[in-house]
Amino acid sequence: MAATYVAHEVSCVLDVYAPPGPSDLWGELLADVPTVRVHLFPTFEACKQRNNARNQGIVIADAALERNYSDFAWCLERTRPDHVIDSTHMAPAETLEAVDRLVGDALSL
């Protein structure tokens, strides 16, 4: 998909819960595509508040949300990716600005 996005000049893609793995399959699959992967990782309490505040779509049960959060935290601890943003206290626009800054910095190296 990343190659298709690049071919159609899509410059940013947001994806949901895609934890990093020990083999870095994403890195292998994206080796020929210029990408910067950023993980947004607010606190569990922030995730829970945001989940419960949804008024459209599916609200995830607290137990399932906690399992997902714990699994993702475990993966981040094991793989220690380069780009993690704690978006706990950020509004969506602030999060976007932080991602934009981080990606700009990473691409200028």
Q: Provide the sign of the torsion angle of the four alpha carbons 14, 36, 38, 68, taken in this order.
A: positive
Q: What domains can you pick out in the chain, each with its CATH number?
A: 2-107 (3.40.50)
pLDDT tens string, the chain, 109 residues long: the values are 777 877 888 877 777 666 656 666 777 777 887 788 888 999 999 999 999 888 777 889 999 999 999 988 988 888 888 899 999 999 999 999 999 999 888 888 6
Q: What are phi and psi of 64, to 5 degrees?
A: -70, -40
DSSP letter string, 32-78: TS-----EE---HHHHHHHHHT--SSPPPPHHHHHHHHHHHHHHHHH
Residue 39: both structure tokens together: 């993980």
pTM over 0.95: no
